[in-house]
Amino acid sequence: MSFSRLPMFALGSFAMILASGCSSSVETIPSGATTSSTGAGGAQAGSTTSSGTGGDTFDGGAPLTTIESGIGPIKAMSGFEDTQCITVSLKNAEGAFVRRFRADLGSGSHHMIVYKSNATVEALTPQPCQGFSGLLSGEHPIFIGQQAKSKLDFPTDEAGVPVGLEIAANQMVRIELHLINTGSQPLDVTGKLYADTVPLTTNVVPSDLAFWGTQNIHIPAHQKWDTGVKFQKALASSKTFALTTHQHQLGTRMRVWYANDITDIKGTPVADGQSWSDPPLELFTPGLDFPDSGNGKTSTKGLAYKCEWDNPTANEVSFGEGFNNEMCFLWQYYYPSQGFQLCVDGFCKKVK
């Protein structure tokens, strides 16, 4: 599906993974076990142990297979900023449900996005690409990492059935890494992805992502500015279990409310990101419930959100993919899947 009817994004930034000598590896382990092995590029590939999270274990509800992939190292000189992409097969012999994503982002990694790719041939050498390039080409994002140690455990539903995100056999993915070196010394920027999966024969509730925001951003020079409150109705009969916010360096706050309409913001926000570089991933148990409004498409409820900035520069700052542009978006994971949903200023599209 194309997004050609959407307002043209000057988009860009999110991401993940490894490329000079990029590869993917797979290992199968019992549910609840822990192990490690040498993976692509000589990096340590975790299985059921969350990388960098103190050795906690994860029960996937079935024997887990860990798929490892990555991008980099990419040389970034002082002051360098770019978005670079690769396309790689995960080399998983069979389709699966992802029950947990983990990522390690090296110094200089602003964020990374992983998309299901429509490509049939790998392109393993990192190449400059437009930010959000997967969205623009109609590809399906499946994970975003914004912290050095990122992790998303998929929950179980109200009946105790595991929730997971489906991938195909030999799944091709596009890995998009937004990198920036604000220091004085060169950096070798890398990212790593770990997907802990269970077989398709497992009883799993399929999940997906929704990506909502605005490109109406006009921050005057030497001033504070905000979007005002925006509101987006949710998909009918869906439940959101994870949510995070995204701004760039001038961002001072992004709040999100579980709301009935644009005026329903008196309660405590469900997300209150006050660090543009390290926004929290909010998890909801039980998930935020979005009942059907009666039309089978939209809910009676949704999410209200507001972004704020402080611009000390001599230039007006507007929407865009670069570090010196700004963004106001939220990502959320929901179930049961109705496809990936992209909503920009109230205009929505879905990709199965």
Any idea which residue has 């970034």 for tokens? 76
Residue 121 lies in a domain: yes
Residues 286 and 219 in one domain: yes
Q: How far is CA 300 from the centre of its chain?
A: 26
Contact 318, 326 (CB under 8 A): yes
| 120 and 226 housed in the same domain | no
User: Residue type for 103, please?
Assistant: A
Same domain, 199 and 232: no
Task: Say if residue 231 is in the same domain as residue 290.
Answer: yes
Number of domains in the chain: 2
Residues 346, 240 share a domain: yes
Greatest alpha-carbon span in the chain: 58
- pLDDT value, residue 137: 67
Examine residue 102 and state whether it is found in any structural domain, yes or no.
yes
Residue 14 lies in a domain: no
Task: Give residue for tokens 């455990």.
Answer: 153
Do 275 and 313 reside in the same domain of the chain? yes
Task: State the alpha helices, DSSP H only, in the chain.
Answer: 133-136
Q: What angle do CA 49, 54, 56 make, to 5 degrees?
A: 45
Query: 177 and 108 in contact (C-beta within 8 Å)?
Result: no
In a domain, 22, yes or no: no
| In a domain? residue 163 | yes
Q: Which residue has the tokens 């709040």?
A: 255
pLDDT at res. 18: 27
Mean pLDDT of the chain: 83
Domain limit, last residue, from 204, 233, 257? 204
**Does some domain include residue 222?**
yes
CB 107 within 8 A of CB 172: no
Q: Round to whole Å and give the CA distance between 119 and 125.
A: 15
pTM over 0.85: no
Task: Please check whether residues 119 and 133 belong to one and the same domain.
Answer: yes
Domain end among 204, 220, 242: 204
With H, G, I as helix, E, B as strand and everything else as coil, classify residue 83.
strand
Domain of residue 343, residue span: 208-351
Question: Residue 7: inside a domain, yes or no?
Answer: no
Give the whole-angstrom CA distance, residue 311 versus residue 231: 24
- The answer to whether 129 touches 19, Cβ cutoff 8 Å, is no
163 and 231, same domain (yes or no): no
Listed as ranges, residues in the chain with pLDDT below 70 are 1-56, 133-138, 352
End-of-domain residue from the set 204, 225, 253: 204
pLDDT of residue 21: 35
Which CATH number is 280's domain given?
2.60.120.230
Which tokens belong to 237?
């009969």
Same domain, 126 and 193: yes
**Is 11 within a domain?**
no
Q: How far apart are CA 292 and CA 206, in angstroms?
A: 18
Q: How far apart are CA 99 and CA 344, in angstroms?
A: 28
Alpha carbon 329 to its chain's center: 11
Residue 263: burial class (beta carbons within 10 Å; 0-12, 13-18, 19+): exposed
195 and 213 housed in the same domain? no
Q: What is the CATH number of the domain that holds 127?
A: 2.60.120.310
How confident is the model over 16-51, as pLDDT tens digits?
A: 322 333 444 444 434 333 322 222 322 222 223 333
Q: Give the integer Cα–Cα distance in Å for 100 and 21.
A: 25
Question: Based on the domain organization, do 92 and 227 belong to the same domain?
Answer: no
Q: Based on the domain organization, do 189 and 310 belong to the same domain?
A: no
